[in-house]
Structure 1
Amino acid sequence: MAKEIKLLGVTIDDRLTFNTHIKNVCRKAIAVHQQLCRAAKVSWGLNPEVIKIIYVAVIEPIVLYAASVWAPAASKLGIIKQLRVLQRGIAQKMCKAYRTVSLNSALLLAGILPLDLRIREVALLYEAKKGVAQELLGDREMERMASALDSPHPAARVDLEIGRVMDQEQIDASANSEIKIYTDGSKIEGRVGAAVSIWIGNTETRTLKLALANFCTVYQAELLAICRATKEIRRSTAESFGIYSDSMAALQTVKNHGCLHPLAVETRDNLKAISRQAKIVNLYWIKAHAGIEGNERADALAKEAAINSKKKPDYDLCPVSFVKRHARMVTLDEWNHRYNTGQTASITKMFFPDAVAAYRTIRKVGMNAIRTQIMTGHGGFSEYLNRFKCKENPSCICDPNTLETVPHILLDCPIFAQERYTIECELDTRIQKDKIGEIIKGRNRIKFLEYCENLANKTIKRNKNTV
């Protein structure tokens, strides 16, 4: 009897440990990493952004394939260790770090999350999409895509075209519809609303205000408004209609029969029923805030619906984006806990004391080899060179009893007192250890990093001449 089978690319063992599967995907991902190693070194080779694209588009999908099946196995220490070994080398390449840099520092400076947490995140999102109850959703119901099996046959589909209108004059010039219906959605003060404004000629005859749950998106609001407009058309006795929306994304979703969003599917069903009633409906995209009276009116109504509505929401299905956002928050909190409680990355923590803030900031920093050396302490500094037997003396030339480390160079070394005084005047703040994190997050980040690079380059050049 076979103890393992391979089903759709997943190796399943008789004890459901998935050890073999994880070992195989790690081996496959490491093979890609080894190819990268030949073309990416600390001082030359592939740009870090290129390496990150390869990681996100190739390596991560290899590991995350069918993660919802074997996600529980990723919490075992042995599996986590394998994933860390894989990810550490790749993260070091992304931020141009030395091989001695810790996993915590490499991941943070590369701007990527631990693989075991990403596996858990992907599995959670898949389960939520399939309707499995999730703690983070509470009593909310997930918005699920319609089944492709319920889609109409291509021959039975209603072909839709989207016109473009830029101003009121174009609407007046092409007024070939008995009834014009303007739709809009709005999110304001954390609340969401949608509106439908119905016009005959130059007179507004009816309005609809629609409330959505606070966790809904403007995209959902725009789709809901268009859907309700088609419902009104089904009830109307007129023969020609124009639906005007300033959301091209919503209109394209309705037009695309391959998109199975429930509101888009319902809208297309309504349009199909309308065509059987021998009514004509034209869809138009209009430029927002261009002085078009109907659009401005729909926008005002949507904001009123969002702010003032106290009724039960007309639409309260939880969007996928809400689940993604909250799943990412859980992942970042766990990563931050690991980062802060870890025994490594002490120099990195001086620049980035909080991993959550760093994850949002690091892409603005523009990492390169010298900045990575500064933020890890692993570079051409006497203390580091002495640790790996590359230099006899770990002390700074300013004082034989003081180690030449990154904090010493940036904060205390009297050799760089003039540079330090200049940057403190420019930033209007003292350069202190507990203030560096705030400086990195602020507007003066670039000036401070240039100061750091200047001092580091001088130190590294001096040490090269003395090694």
Structure 2
Amino acid sequence: MWACRRLMGKTWGISPRMAHWLYTAVVRPIVSYAALVWWRATNQQTVQAQLGTLQRQACLGITGAIRTCPTASMEVLLGLPPLHIHIWRCAYLGAVRVRWSEMVGSFATRRLQDTIQHFGIDSAGVLISDVMPEKMNFRLPFKVAIPSRERWRGGDLPLAAGVQAWYTDGSVIGGRTGLGVTGPRFSLALPLGSCATIFQAEVLAIDICAQELLRRGTKNARICIFSDSQAALKAISAFSHKSRLTWDCLNTLKALARDNRITLTWVLGHAGIKGNEKADSLAKLGAESLPTGPEPFLGLPKSYLERKVDEWVNTTKTSHWLRCPGLRQSKRLISPQGRARDMLSLSRINIRVLTGVLTGHCPLRYHLNKMGLGEITECRLCGGGEETAEHLLCDCPAAAYARFRHLGSGLLQPEALQRAATKNILAFLKEVGVFEVFFQ
């Protein structure tokens, strides 16, 4: 961390985005290594304080803020959860990963289950998971063809006489997923509920198509199954499989290929291809229909669990922010969601100024007086109220015109600044001379 800090000055050095990457991609993974083993130690306040000291150094390096700037405020602005919460996240995902590997004994399984249940995260993604230990497949008894887009733009590709053409598709509408399958004397629209992904719908549609052909007892036939998902076709034909759904689909196709010649072909979607348009209509009908029975209907993918964990982290991070003592101005001017994307795109000078103003820890007269570095607290623009960052941003009468031009109103409530665009706040600060105060 100290080696990285040598690259960052108050107004010079690597960009905030690069500094953020050095911390999150290099330093933080070193600290959180093997979190599954030692995460319970982070329940102690002393350990949380030590971890907070490390993350504070990273935040100061990224923002260039002055030494009195509170750590919690910088964390929220940069979208960094407190380090002990990040370690809890790593421990939970580590426990799930080991649990899925199915290579641990009963005692270890109980310990892993204790860790998983401790955080109170929705554990459906663990218990009803699509993830499986890696399996390999080196024999592909069917072909996978991905024609160029140019070949499809002329319309349907010509098929040899006697080839059965089947079309599959998946769709998501209003958060619900559905699939569609169409072929000779067959049409199916199937709702999959709100937990399945579009990728799962595409793979399952191919699997259902192959199952229908097996049910019919199809033999000695040439079959072409069209799908507009290259991701699904490449996943099914890959050597390595960690998804139960793609593995089951592969085995179904293998069974069908014993007595038939199978080709999986990519079709350009939404290009007027008759069969694909019909499958797309069926998939949309399935997505718009209400499913029957309890969800989930498929094993939940890894992305579902990661989304739930991220939601838990955001909730826990917000709760921690609201419980932090003090931080009166920061909590009024900074949204709990922060503005990390905008902050990291700024120059070192701009991020230093914006961090100081939004937290209130900047070289304005009121704060300098609190630090014992000045005696005058009156606003230098209006000579009335105390010169605080909130006064300048919200109600200083001398800055009303500039505030109206850049922030949309001559008088603002502090909460309104949480929604204000970062570039507009910076333009206002430049016009009223705050930048000169920082660097005089």
* 1:90 alignment counterpart: 58
SS in 1 for 2:7: coil
Higher mean displacement: 118-127 or 294-303:
118-127
Q: In structure 2, the residue corresponding to 1:116 is in which secondary structure?
A: helix
Residue 439 of structure 1 is matched in structure 2 by 420
Q: What is the aligned counterpart of 2:36 among 68, 84, 99?
A: 68
Distance change in 2, residues 1:251/1:324 (3 Å): same
2:16 to 44, 48, 53: 48
Q: Check 1:138–1:62 CA distance in 2 against 1; reply closer, same or farther (3 A cut).
A: closer
Per-residue deviation at 1:297? 1.0
Amino acid at match of 2:227: S
Q: What residue is the counterpart of 1:418 in the other structure?
A: 401
8 Å contact 1:96–1:369 — kept in the other structure?
yes
TM (norm. structure 1) is 0.79
Partner of 2:110: none
Q: CA deviation at 1:332?
A: 1.3
**Overall identity of the aligned pairs, in %:** 26
Structure 1 counterpart of 2:377:
394
1:196 aligned to which of 149, 165, 181: 181
CA deviation after TM superposition for structure 1 residue 309, in Å: 4.7
Question: Given the alignment of the two structures, is residue 243 of structure 1 paired with residue 225 of structure 2, yes or no?
Answer: yes
311 and 110 in structure 1: CA distance in 2 versus 1, 3 angstrom threshold = closer
Question: How many angstroms apart in 1 are the aligned matches of 2:93 and 2:385?
Answer: 52
| C-alpha RMSD of the superposition | 2.8
In 2, are the aligned partners of 1:193 and 1:302 still within 8 Å (CA)?
Answer: yes
Matching residue within 416, 424, 427 for 1:450: 427
Q: Which 5+ residue runs of structure 2 have no aligned equivalent?
A: 101-112
Could you tell me which amino acid in structure 2 is paired with residue 263 of structure 1?
L
User: Judging changes above 3 Å, is the alpha-carbon distance between structure 1 residues 309 and 330 closer, same or farther for their aligned structure 2 residues?
Assistant: closer
Match of 1:321 in 2: 303
* Separation in 2, partners of 1:37, 1:159: 56
Secondary structure of 2:11's partner?
coil
**1:270 corresponds to:** 252
CA contact (8 A) 2:395 2:412 kept: no
What does residue 331 of structure 1 align with? 313
Specify the alignment match of 1:371 in structure 2. Answer: 354
2:109 is matched with: none
Query: Could you tell me the TM-score, scaled by structure 2's length?
Result: 0.84
Aligned partner of 1:117 in structure 2 is 85
Shift of 1:402: 3.8
Contact 1:210 1:314 in 2 (8 A): no
Contact 2:144 2:237 in 1 (8 A): yes
Any conservation in 2 of the 1:385–1:391 contact (CA below 8 Å)?
yes
The answer as to whether partners of 2:221 and 2:261 remain within 8 angstroms in 1 is yes
Question: Cα offset for 1:176?
Answer: 6.4
> Structure 1 regions of 5+ residues with no counterpart?
1-32, 200-204
CA distance 1:35–1:183, change in 2 (3 Å): same
Structure possessing the higher relative contact order (Cα contacts under 8 Å, 6 or more residues apart) = 2
Structure 1 residues 460 and 187, CA, compared in 2 at 3 Å: closer, same or farther?
closer
- The number of aligned residues is 412
Say whether residues 1:260 and 2:263 are aligned partners. Answer: no
Shift of 1:60: 2.0
Letter in 1 for 2:356: Q
Give secondary structure in 2 for the equivalent of 1:318.
coil
Moved more, 118-127 or 248-257: 118-127
Contact 1:193 1:221 in 2 (8 A): yes
Maintained 8 Å contact 2:223/2:263: yes
CA offsets 1:72-111 (integer angstroms, 9 cap, x no match): 2222212211211111110222233223211111111222
C-alpha separation between the residues in 2 aligned to 1:158 and 1:117?
Answer: 48
Which digits, 9 at most, give the CA deviation of each residue in 1:117-171, with x for residues without a partner? 11212222333452546554366743243333x534x4x4557533226437453
1:404-415 alignment runs, 5 A limit: 404-415=387-398
